[in-house]
Structure 1
Amino acid sequence: MKTTKIGFIGGGNMAASLLNGLVASGHEPRQLWVSDINPETLASLSANLSINVTQSNHEAVNAVDVVVLAVKPQSLAQVAKEIAPFIQHRQLVVSIAAGITQASLSKWLGADAAIVRCMPNTPALVLTGATALYANDKVTSEQRDLAETILRAVGIALWVENESELDAVTAVSGSGPAYYFLLMEAMEQVAVELGLSEVTARLLIQQTALGAAKIALESPESPGELRKRVTSPGGTTQQAIETFERGGFSQLVSQALHAARDRSIEMSKQMESN
């Protein structure tokens, strides 16, 4: 894997995070390529990581074994059609563009293209991402391992059986960080109302969120069991939890995630029709 040639079409934040993660995990920088229209982006990546940079998508595609499509969804059709003549049978194409289906990618790149579609989330920017992947039937087991290894450079990577599951992934982990930020934002506002300084409130809430996530990751118990363990009968935590429940907390979460899932499906259909 460390000598596999990987090229990124697009050098934005997610591509930069993946490149940083690959280099940090020991991947040979000379085997990494990135193409971008912005010379400043390329200069920064070259200076920081010592990787190969170019403004030519063709050059990047011709030099690598794995092509990672890291451009904005609205630009992907044009870019994919442009590089399609240069995609070889041996190459794997990994798309991190949200909402662009396998059907569209295959239409633009060719029916024989080996394609992995994935949905990373923004914590990948700090190497704690959660990514779901889906492969078409042209992808070999070795290529699946390659795609998984690339995404694991910025966090965890999990496979889904059906492409439709990526819409649920979008609702859960793709949009998920914003849900936690919303809760943290609301808690901070109330903490200040209760008399804490903004600095103190923010640090307490951030560390509490980190600690809770760490316990959940390291414990074999479900979140429900962990919640019960820290909720003493008749205590302050129980009072707060019961207040959440009376407000319809679980139902509201359900409505929110269903709305996000439905919007993901709707956006995919809109992009396919363009």
Structure 2
Amino acid sequence: MKVCFIGTGSMGSLLTEAFLKAGALSPKQVTLASRTRSKAEALAARYPGLAVADDNLSAASDANLIFLCVKPSDFRAVLDDILPVLTKDRIIVSITSPIRIETLEKIVPSKVAKIIPSVVNSVGCGATLFMFSARLNDDDRALLRQLFSSISRPVEIDEEKVRVASDLSSVGPAFFAFLLEQFIEAAVAETGINRETATTLACEMLLGSARMLQEPDCSPSDLQRRVSVPGGITAAALAELDRATKNAFSRVLQTTHAKFKEDLEKAELSLRPQKRRGPRGNP
């Protein structure tokens, strides 16, 4: 199997390295194309055998599986670049949530999947969100699940729920890192504890909590009950935290969904055919 990654920004590079480190792909199976060639060449230097193409068309020419790891505004130009080599048996994977599967199917003859990764996939953790086109058969779906199982837990969702699922899975690390940072800053400001010590303690706590929550008999509510004694210090602190954060995540979700609606509209507009003055290289 030959795999092409178009775009080596944060997520394109993350996925490429994660698959290579996990042994799910060998460097000789992978070809990269990037607007910033130096990023692709840096990956190739770390993984001998990995190929860097001169342009998008060359990268996709012999690929069975083509990952589009570019911004929504770049999708149309990239698709126009690679359309000459797209066939019904090739699989296009978009990792960009505002790009609809239905819209892609109107442009390309290939099979289409939308898979949303998370930054924590870089350490072999977290979920990846799977949405499949009806064009994919059972073998295609099994291939993608097997590939991503090497770095994550694949979870199939309804495309209409991609925003909230992304908030929980892909954006969630930033939300909880923000809250953890506030916890650390408050500890330092209120007590004078050494910042490095506070950071170590807080990060180890979060890691341990995550591992406990993977156990079948430990839900978020269960974990709170295990730590909190009625009438105790933790119970009093949880009551204060409840008052301070009341409806905070409802407002967060309202914000992400409003922005996502705007992004969907922009993405649909950007995927309309473009007039082009001449041949393109990279996206």
TM (norm. structure 2) is 0.87
Change (3 A) 1:70 1:153: farther
CA offset at residue 270 of structure 1? 2.4
Distance 1:258 1:89 in 2: 39
CA RMSD of superposed structures (Å): 1.8
Q: What SS does structure 2 have at the residue aligned with 1:164?
A: helix
Distance 2:142 2:246 in 1: 37
Report if the CA contact (8 A) 2:31-2:59 is conserved.
yes
Report if the CA contact (8 A) 1:14-1:124 is conserved.
no
Deviations 1:185-213 (A, max 9, x none): 21011101222121111111111111111
Deviations 1:20-50 (A, max 9, x none): 2222232332111111233322221211112
CA offset at residue 115 of structure 1? 0.5
Number of residue equivalences? 267
2:205 aligned residue (175, 192, 208): 208
Letter in 1 for 2:52: V
1:20 maps to 2:36: no
Residue matched to 2:275: none
Distance 1:245 1:12 in 2: 38
1:273 aligned residue (253, 269, 276): 269
Distance 1:69 1:129 in 2: 21
Deviations 1:124-154 (A, max 9, x none): 3333342101011101111112222333343
Change (3 A) 1:11 1:46: same
Residue matched to 2:178: 182
1:169 maps to 2:159: no
Q: What SS does structure 2 have at the residue aligned with 1:63?
A: coil
1:116 maps to 2:116: no
Residue matched to 2:38: 40
Trace 1:51-130 onto structure 2 (pairs within 5 A): 51-109=50-108, 112-130=109-127
Distance 1:15 1:264 in 2: 21
Report if the CA contact (8 A) 2:5-2:33 is conserved.
yes
Unaligned runs of 5+ in 1: none
Distance 1:219 1:195 in 2: 38
Distance 1:123 1:164 in 2: 23
Distance 2:261 2:101 in 1: 13
Q: What SS does structure 2 have at the residue aligned with 1:257?
A: helix
Q: What SS does structure 2 have at the residue aligned with 1:138?
A: coil
Report if the CA contact (8 A) 1:184-1:205 is conserved.
yes
Report if the CA contact (8 A) 1:171-1:258 is conserved.
no
Letter in 1 for 2:124: L
Report if the CA contact (8 A) 1:33-1:53 is conserved.
yes
Change (3 A) 1:74 1:150: farther
Q: What SS does structure 1 have at the residue aligned with 2:214?
A: helix
1:199 aligned residue (196, 207, 226): 196
Distance 2:29 2:115 in 1: 22
Distance 1:128 1:144 in 2: 21
Letter in 2 for 1:80: L
Name segments (4+ residues, structure 1) moved above 3 Å: none
By relative contact order (CA 8 Å, sep 6+), the higher-ranking structure is 2
1:232 aligned residue (210, 221, 229): 229
TM (norm. structure 1) is 0.90
Deviations 1:196-236 (A, max 9, x none): 12111111111111111111113433211221111112221
Letter in 1 for 2:233: T
CA offset at residue 250 of structure 1? 4.9
1:259 aligned residue (255, 260, 266): 255
Percent sequence identity over aligned pairs: 25
